[in-house]
């Protein structure tokens, strides 16, 4: 990808277990600056991690779908996230969709709330289940998730959208999608973006791959023309693994 900058993102999920470990992980990363890197710590650690890495390198794992503040116990609003200086919000992760009921409408509302913030990027996750892949409907599923999540999003905002293609069956399972197979889906995602918007946007939006990326798999994945980076879960918590992933060849 000539026009598109690569990006490596680390999704810490509900890890690590202590603030001290979180700041240590962030500090080790600060010493390893290389390409564009973003980590997504849990909310309670976000302020400390942002102090270490700066807001450009820190993302929020989620955002409230509502355009308000008020009586919504447990929720975190877009302006609260922006107030920390955080510049990226993860939306639609399969764990949110599966365990917490984030359906396509909620995901669409979260995309809207993210893009309503000044200068904040939305990293939108899409991907099929094992069953859907076996049925041969991977591209249909991605197209539906993409179209619904981006419904009503103006073309002018698309420079603040990054897509993360994450086959659900590859997340946390050690099963990496074959690079050529992932490449086909990434190309299909661009075709879908071209249909919703235009060829220019399809060519410029970054599309990351996620699903059990490791030091052993990252180089082959990153050699694919339509794969612009990786979203890493488990391996992002292991400094040596994450550093090797950042230094993909
Ligand atoms: C993820 O959480 O987005 C992810 C891809 O996890 P893992 O790398 O552990 O499969």
- CATH code for position 22: 3.20.20.70
C-alpha to C-alpha distance for 230 and 134, rounded to whole angstroms: 24
Report pLDDT for 2: 53
Q: What is the mean pLDDT of residues 199-221?
A: 97
The stretch 171-180 carries a mean pLDDT of 94
Q: 126 CA to middle of ligand 1, Å?
A: 13
Share of the chain above pLDDT 90, in %: 95
pLDDT, residue 238, reads 96
Residues with Cβ within 6 A of ligand 1? 11, 13, 166, 171-172, 210-213, 231-235
Q: Is residue 239 included in any domain, yes or no?
A: yes
Share of the chain above pLDDT 70, in %: 98
Is residue 153 domain-resident? yes
Place of tokens 């809207």: 112
Burial class of residue 196 in the structure, from the number of CB atoms within 10 Å of its CB (0-12 exposed, 13-18 middle, 19+ buried)? middle
As for how many domains the chain has, the answer is: 1
In the predicted model, is pLDDT for residue 34 greater than 90?
no
pLDDT at 116 (0 to 100)? 98
Query: How many angstroms does the Cα of residue 168 sit away from the middle of ligand 1?
Result: 9
* Res. 3 pLDDT band, cuts 50 70 90: confident
Q: Is 2 exposed, middle or buried (0-12, 13-18, 19+ CB in 10 A)?
A: exposed
3-state secondary structure of 161: strand
Residue 236 domain-assigned (yes or no): yes
- Looking at the DSSP bridge assignments, the partners of residue 209 are 165, 230
Orientation of helix 104-115 relative to helix 138-149, angle to 10°: 50
Q: Which domain holds residue 73?
A: 7-181+198-246
**Residues 128-157, mean pLDDT to the nearest whole number:** 98
Please identify, by atom number, the ligand 1 atom nearest to the C-alpha of residue 212.
10
Say whether 178 is catalytic.
Answer: no
Q: Is 166 a catalytic residue?
A: yes
Asked whether 170 and 216 are in contact (CB, 8 A), the reply is no
- Mean pLDDT within 128-152: 98
In the predicted model, is pLDDT for residue 33 greater than 80?
Answer: no
201: tokens are 């946007």
For residue 10, what are its two tokens? 């680390």
Residue 190 lies in a domain: no
Catalytic residue, candidates 65, 95, 128, 166: 166
- Tell me what the pLDDT averaged over the chain comes to: 96
- Does residue 84 fall inside a structural domain? yes
Ligand 1 atom with minimal separation from the 170 CA: 10
> Residue 130: is its pLDDT beyond 90?
yes
pLDDT the model gives residue 31: 83
Catalytic residue among 65, 93, 128, 186: 93
160-176 average pLDDT score: 96
Q: Using the atom order of ligand 1, give the atom closest to the CA of residue 172.
A: 10
**Residue 135 forms part of a structural domain:** yes
- Across 106-124, average pLDDT: 98
Residue 66 in domain: yes
Mean pLDDT of 47-58: 96
What confidence tier does 1 reach under pLDDT thresholds 50, 70, 90? very low
> Which pLDDT belongs to residue 35?
73
Predicted pLDDT at 32: 80
Probe target for ligand 1 pocket from 88, 164, 233, 244, with the most ligand atoms within 8 Å of CB: 233
CA of 27 to the centre of ligand 1 (A): 22
Q: How far is the CA of 234 from the centre of ligand 1 (A)?
A: 6
Is residue 192 included in any domain, yes or no? no
Dump strand ranges (E) for 41-200.
59-60, 88-91, 121-126, 161-165
| Amino acid 52: pLDDT | 96
Residues 46/86, Cβ–Cβ less than 8 Å: yes
CA atoms of 209 and 129, how far apart (whole Å): 15
């Amino acid at each position: 990808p000539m026009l598109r900058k690569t990006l490596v993102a680390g999704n810490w999920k509900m890890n690590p277990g202590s603030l001290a470990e979180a700041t240590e992980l962030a500090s080790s990363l600060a010493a390893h600056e290389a390409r564009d890197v973003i980590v997504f710590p849990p909310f309670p650690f976000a302020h400390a991690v942002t102090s270490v890495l700066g807001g450009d390198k820190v993302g929020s794992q989620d955002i409230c779908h509502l355009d308000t503040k008020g009586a919504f116990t447990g929720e975190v609003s877009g302006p609260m996230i922006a107030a920390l200086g955080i510049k990226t919000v993860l939306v639609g992760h399969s764990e949110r969709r599966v365990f917490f009921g984030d359906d396509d409408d909620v995901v669409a509302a979260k995309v809207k709330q993210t893009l309503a913030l000044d200068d904040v990027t939305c990293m939108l996750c899409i991907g099929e289940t094992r069953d859907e892949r076996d049925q041969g409907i991977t591209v249909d599923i991605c197209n539906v998730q993409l179209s619904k999540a981006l419904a009503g999003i103006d073309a002018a905002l698309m420079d603040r959208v990054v897509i993360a293609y994450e086959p659900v069956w590859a997340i946390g399972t050690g099963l990496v999608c074959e690079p050529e197979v992932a490449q086909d889906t990434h190309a299909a995602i661009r075709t879908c973006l071209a249909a919703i918007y235009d060829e220019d946007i399809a060519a410029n939006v970054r599309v990351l791959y996620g699903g059990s990326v490791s030091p052993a798999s990252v180089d082959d994945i990153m050699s694919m023309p339509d794969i612009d980076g990786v979203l890493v879960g488990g391996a992002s918590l292991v400094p040596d693994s994450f550093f090797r992933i950042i230094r993909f060849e």
